[in-house]
Amino acid sequence: MVEEEGGEVAVAPTAPPAAEKKEVVRGRFAVLLCADASKYVKKVHGGYLKVFLELLGEEGETWHVYRAAHSELPSVADIDGYDGFVITGSCNDAHGDDQWIMDLVAFLKVLDSKKKKVLGVCFGNQILSRALGGKTGRSKKGWDIGVTCVHPSQTITDLLSSLNIPSHLPVIEFHQDEVWQLPPHAEVLACSEKTGVEMFRYGDHIMGIQGHPEYDKDILLHLIDRCLQRNLIETSHAEVAKGRINELEPNREAWRRLCQGFLKGKLSW
């Protein structure tokens, strides 16, 4: 059972025939939820934890969810029990000063000091940059909603050649904030027409992605309608995004290989 009120979910291995049995490599990971899933996402997609498990989960692993937006975080004593952490998107600003955001910034600094694998998505990308000494804020080019073609740098193109990652990576985007300035010693891994920092890495243990590799178009359309109903986006933005939604398909399989490869330590920088 996938549970978003706090708890663990085991991705159980499928037992092969006796003659073909092989050791299943197990890992323990934590998802830090920075937003509450809507009733629709819970009903249709099983909640954001399940959405991330479909992108990142593999046989034999155990995943734990913490509602970071409700001030739930692993204790410092528990950190070493995890192989990696995932920071999700949020409707809050990564440059805000809400207490839970400040607590998350402090927690991410601890993860960095311990060289823990951390993958940040959208808000997660921005809050990682902030925690490491970078700057975030409103995008100079406004909202980016829809499927955007991301262009990897030569560094990551060379690195990912073994994973058969293409030179252009369409991904679903839904953001009005961005990384303004990278932390010292961080490296840009990808950019797009609207966003200068679509991906970045910090050492070999932290990676941020501005887009949403975990989303499909159904979730995107739902979020557009939800934000429109709450007057968080203008009608013109929503209409443009919906009108262009079928122009490009997100390469979810390539993003899955990339995200799993990073989080599971299969990439050598």
Residue-wise pLDDT for 70-125, tens only, equals 999 999 999 999 999 999 999 999 999 999 999 999 999 999 999 999 999 999 99
> Concatenated DSSP letters for 149-181?
EEEE-HHHHHHGGGGT--S-EEEEEEESEEEEE
Q: Which residues contact 123 (CB under 8 A, 6 or more apart)?
A: 34, 35, 87, 88, 89, 90, 92, 94, 175, 177
Which of 52-56, 104-108, 161-165, 186-190 comes out lowest in average pLDDT?
161-165
180 pLDDT more than 90: yes
Of 218, 124, 234, the residue nearest 179 (C-alpha): 124
* Spatial distance between the Cα atoms of 200 and 156, rounded to a whole number of angstroms: 10
pLDDT of 205 > 50? The answer is yes
Q: How confident is the model over 242-260, as pLDDT tens digits? A: 988 888 999 999 999 999 9
134 close to 182: Cβ distance less than 8 angstroms: yes
Share of the chain above pLDDT 90, in %: 71
- Which tops the pLDDT comparison, 186 or 140? 186
Which band of pLDDT confidence, cut at 50, 70 and 90, is reported for residue 6?
low
Would you say 50 and 43 are in contact if contact means Cβ atoms under 8 Å apart?
A: no
Domains of the chain as residue ranges with CATH: 7-138+178-214+256-263 (3.40.50.880)
Q: Is 62 exposed, middle or buried (0-12, 13-18, 19+ CB in 10 A)?
A: middle
Q: Is the pLDDT of residue 22 over 70?
A: no
Cα gap 210→25, rounded to integer Å: 29
The residues carrying an active-site annotation are 122, 212, 214
Residue 86 near residue 119 (C-beta atoms within 8 A): yes
pTM for the full predicted model: 0.90
